[in-house]
Amino acid sequence: MRAVVQQRRVLHPAGAGRPVELLRPDPEPEHLLARDLHSARSFLYVHGMKKARLATALLFLLYGTLIGVWTARIPAVKEHLGLSDGLLSLALLALAAGAITGMQLVGTLVDRFGTRRVLTPVALADGFLLIPVALAPNLATLALALFAFGVVHGTLNVAMNARGVEIERAWGSPIMSSFHAAYSIGGFLGAAAGGAFAAAGAGPVVTFASVAVVMAAVTAWAVAQSFEATREHPATEVRQNPGPLRGVLLLGGLAFCALIGEGAAADWSTVYVRDSLGGSAALAAGAYAAFFAAMTAGRLAGDPLTARFGPVAVVRAGGLLAAGGLGAALLVHHPIAGVIGFGCLGAGLSTIAPQVFSAAGARNPDRPARAIARAASIGWLGFFAGPVLIGGGAALTGLPVALAIPVVLAAVIVVAARAVDVRSSGVPVAAAGR
């Protein structure tokens, strides 16, 4: 029990006044003890939330790293099987189909059993499923292996974003964009790692096996840390008549518009600068590099901007930047303008997907994973359909005119930006993790 020392003057037997120390108990020890315990718990909670946020960002980074490694080794897989561009496209279509299939299945599983029970096994298995892809002896087995990898990768996508929404809700301020920035950085690191393995003469099997082992070890630590300090939300039982998901179709439409632009930049930015504008090969490569770098920087800046101006203003400004930047570049019709235009497209689209996933989960707090799965599925359709749509338009009107499609869709994002406003949906702001 705490005590305080008081100085009181008492009359000494000798008659001289002399200060004597007397102990008097603190009148409210329980109150002070409770305050100290609360402070300690608050410190531990804040420290734990920081660890959980860092670990969740690491999961996003690993997710992007694996895609980067796979992308860097696609030419080696194609060469090993002697595939034409058309046959390779069919195999990659199996990957897309698998991813969308996984997204459709995982929403209910996460909402019923909880994020950790679904995220842990798929995160650990994700990297190892690229090994059968490298071992595939023909097109049919390659497509089957890519489908299986796509199912797990799509499942992980939704489970990971659902976990991001949980962390953001507990954090109390926007942090979803930083998770997607980690994913973008991971894509760069993965591409660099894949290129390093290729330069060393390692085949796809060695590449994927080496990366899978390292990623599994890091993933196991990241998953444990992500859930260690935060109690997972209780699994929501599936209701008999749950009703429609709120706002998901419109949010999915925003993701569709944004990801068409991302797919177009990935497949057509270098072709446009080199073939349509007559730029050098180095300048053409710089177009996608500018897009990727600007998107990463935009995601790193996305959370502070969202906290200050709100998600609607950020999404609307991003759409304006994407539409205005690429649209002006198409009108100028110069290689350097093309590079700048794709940079503006990347910066403008950078925060759309994070805001869509955050709003989908916040609008449907009883079924966040299913809402994210629905929006993500619609968005992925845009990513895979975008290059095909641009290619078909280029065959009819020329590539410069066809690239106006993402410009128009970015303008649609400007008009529909209010879809990410959680406050207008009737969901409490605190639950949305404002």
Q: How far apart are CA 230 and CA 51, in angstroms?
A: 10
Q: How do residues 80-101 score in pLDDT, each as one tens digit?
A: 999 887 788 888 889 989 998 9
Distance of CA 323 to the CA centre of its chain: 23
Percent above pLDDT 90 for the chain: 47
Poorest-confidence range of 250-254, 352-356, 421-425? Answer: 421-425
pLDDT of amino acid 243: 61
Q: How do residues 406-421 score in pLDDT, each as one tens digit?
A: 999 999 999 999 999 9
Query: In which band, very low, low, confident or very high, does the pLDDT at 302 lie, cut at 50, 70 and 90?
Result: very high
- Whether residue 366 has pLDDT greater than 50: yes
Q: How do residues 189-241 score in pLDDT, each as one tens digit?
A: 998 899 899 889 999 999 999 999 999 999 998 888 877 655 544 433 344 34
Alpha helices (H) along 82-175: 85-113, 115-126, 130-135, 139-171
Taking alpha carbons only, the member of 230, 204, 233, 161 closest to residue 70 is 204
Q: How do residues 103-114 score in pLDDT, each as one tens digit?
A: 888 888 887 888
Supply the pTM of this predicted model.
0.81
Give the pair of three-digit tokens for residue 252.
Answer: 């999915």
Query: Which residues, 6+ apart, have CB-to-CB distance to 257 below 8 Å?
Result: 352, 382, 409, 410, 412, 413
pLDDT of amino acid 401: 93
Taking alpha carbons only, the member of 78, 210, 169 closest to residue 360 is 169
First to last CA, the chain: 42
Poorest-confidence range of 25-34, 175-184, 366-375? Answer: 25-34
pLDDT of amino acid 47: 67
Query: In which band, very low, low, confident or very high, does the pLDDT at 181 lie, cut at 50, 70 and 90?
Result: very high
- Whether residue 164 has pLDDT greater than 50: yes
pLDDT of amino acid 336: 95
pLDDT of amino acid 385: 83
pLDDT of amino acid 429: 41
Q: Which residues pair with 6 in a beta bridge?
A: 22
pLDDT of amino acid 312: 96
pLDDT of amino acid 242: 57
Higher pLDDT, 367 or 35: 367
pLDDT of amino acid 29: 58
**Mean pLDDT rounded to a whole number for the chain:** 83
Phi-psi region of 298 (alpha: psi -120 to 50; beta: other; left: phi over 0): alpha
pLDDT of amino acid 245: 79
